Structure 1
Amino acid sequence: MIYVVKPGDTLYILAQRFRTTINLFLMFNPEITNPALIFPGQILNLPPTGHSFRLCPVLRQGDRGPAVSRIQFLLRQQGLYTGAIDGIYGPLTQRALVAWQQSVKEINVTGIVDEETWVSLGFECNERPEIVQYIVRPGSNLFSIAIWFGITVESILQVNPQITNPNLVYAGQIINIPASQ
């Protein structure tokens, strides 16, 4: 769902009105670079409520949000996506997705991310328990891990008090991953 910002709105007011957090608003609206600056007429993606969130949502060109960032990240790992991981499903994301779908014989080439496409990229679409353990892979950082699991870096840090420097995780390190938000 989307929301058109009205005069007097702030992210704090909107987070209260829609019973969510400012961090979730920022996660679903990566184009916001300054949380203190939104303007009337701006279109925001509303974070989903608990019952509407899906780990593997259907995505198509024009969609925005963390699931799009996740698909961009997965396509980048395959060497097909070279753009910014910005959460905006534009033409570059579409081309990379079609290239992936063409390379996998078992799926249809639609340009739409469905559960079959998610799974073909190695993503697990089933709900996870509250906290699972994850072994950090070579070249990973907390940002890429957060995108992979559809969560925020902050939520990873909350369940990993042993991580004192969020810019320093190493291959083989075991960290806790909270359930998706």
Structure 2
Amino acid sequence: MPIVSGMHFVYTVQPGDTLFSIARRFGSSVADIESANALYPPFTDPGLIFPGQVLIVTRPGTNQTSQVIAPGDNLYRLAQRYSTTVDLLFGINPQLADPGLIYVNDQLLIPAFVYQVETGDTLNKIASQFGMPLSDVLKANEQRPGFSPDVIYPGYRFLIPLPSSANIVVFSPFPGTQITRGTKLAGFARAFEGAILYKIADANGTTVTNEAPIQASEGGPAFGSYSIPIKFDRNPTAQTGELWVYARSANDGSIIDLVKVRVLF
């Protein structure tokens, strides 16, 4: 499954930009930007870009996706785009002092990863393999050059929102990827005293990991980071399953803020 490794930037083309200036700014290459965004015939003349187009720009580095703030952007619009909440975006970007104050060219961490289309893919197939609504994929890729809900091309890259709830987001493992004992489970959470939980079940209903604790670096009302190695209490009996990350209500112990991540074994 071709999830693209590296440091990704979601950049809105501004007047005066060229592919060369964008590639130089972010440490990428013109050829990579052209391939990732279908900037080639018959879709467009070589090197032709227009203000307002949203590009994915990738360079080698830690797996992370950042939104480069453009004129008119705000946290509400970004939350809508990536199917998350303003609180979560604000909480995972501690450099922000006020959710209402973001500035052009700021780089904000966003809950998304990048997938590269391969032969035989369709948008429905991509959404299904990551366990998310097609509408979420469509919203995340609005204003992308070369983007069509009907026809997609090998080599084109899509932004895929990460699974999240109002107070929890899972950055690792990526949905639809294989996990084993020791795979890193990581993300951000806002919970009382930073206490959240996880468990894993396979497609046959076998509990692979019993409910187990996770301790975030901070307790609510702040968002804290978390990172632990996944444990297995039993061997999986199927090739697919779900990882659940959640909290429990202090009132009645029920599951709240549930995030489900489709996984492979």
> TM-score range, shorter-chain basis?
0.3 to 0.5
If each structure's strand is expressed as a fraction of its own residues, which one has the higher value?
A: 2
If each structure's helix is expressed as a fraction of its own residues, which one has the higher value?
A: 1
Structure with greater Cα Rg: 2
